[in-house]
Amino acid sequence: MTGPGVSRRRALERFGALLAASPLLPAQELAGEPPGRITPRQEAVNVFEVAAVAERKLPATVYSSIGGGDRRAFERLTFRPRMLVNVAEIDLTTELLGEKMFAPILAGPVWQQQQFHPEGELAAARGASLARTVMVVSARSSYPIAQIAAATKTTLWIQDYPEADVGAVRKRIEAALAAGCKAACLTLGTPYAPAGGAHHPAKLAPMGQPRMDWKLIENLARSLKAPLLLKGIMTPEEARLAVAAGAGGLVVSNHGGMFAEGLAAPIEVLASVVDEVAGKAPVLVDGSFRRGTDILKALALGARAVLVGRPVMWGLAAYGAEGVETVLNMLQSELARSMGLCGKPNLAGLDRSLVKIHRR
């Protein structure tokens, strides 16, 4: 039944290619292109192929800051799909902080993006706009926030770090809000610079504010005229304190393992944080999300949305603004397909019955 002019071997090759691209199979990094050939953007089928292009374009020391990721926790979550459900139309829309979103996927904050592409955050913002999603901009960006806001029509949030002078943090956030940002995200748990790696020796160098406490967070949240999300929440106890301090949202995150070793994966602790918050504030999550299936698992565990950082930077480094759009569109499409295969036509129907957690 292969049709005229199509050999059985060729038909099997095509079928194998379809299976390999399926988001419901364990993600595997592809072997890459022959030396000298860069995969055209239109030919990339998943974010791993985009990553391979980014790695070839960037110096090793630069790529090391966005390469890798620990995906073992995702492998311990499997789906329990529903059958005979009408999935002719898949609706990815959700509401976050009072704003309707096309899909529950945000471009997460990454500092100094000009190291990945000459246009840095300007190109990333254009790509996020083309993909119809929110972009979280680091206060340590390559361009002024006002210039980034002027380059895009998409919703922007500002992300910053605690400092001894809370007034300075407030001033930067208020300037970003005045430039058009709709929310602020404060990254917790980073009193020192990132942990050392192959290209970055470890140093006990201050980065955030080691003396920051919940009272300062409460004062900052009260003083802002926009929601303040807290990024770095990893336990129910911290989630309870964050909500009590007036946080408008929580981001479950271990910061990609860059600042400390031995931390749990965010997806492992997500459900406990969601249960503690009990709907008082939206809970988001980041951490090695590479496929639509990863995102679906987080949504089933109770996350309102997922932040994606490194894959977006792969797209930026590989293809500029169009690469950012491509990566986000890939994840949106994979999420929609995975929902359809699991018998879930919309986000409202997602709950923990969709996933089975396999213990170590």
- Do the beta carbons of residue 227 and residue 251 sit within 8 Å? no
C-alpha to C-alpha distance for 181 and 109, rounded to whole angstroms: 13
Element (H, E) at 239: helix 236-244
Local structure of 34: helix, strand or coil: coil
- Do the beta carbons of residue 173 and residue 163 sit within 8 Å? no
**CB half-sphere exposure, 318, CA atoms < 13 A:** 31
Q: Which amino acid is at 323?
A: G
- Given 117, 199, 200, 255, the catalytic residue: 255
In DSSP notation, 82-110 reads --S---SS-B--EEETTEEESSSEEE---
Q: Is 200 among the residues known to form the active site?
A: no
C-alpha to C-alpha distance for 24 and 26, rounded to whole angstroms: 7
Which residues carry out catalysis?
A: 255
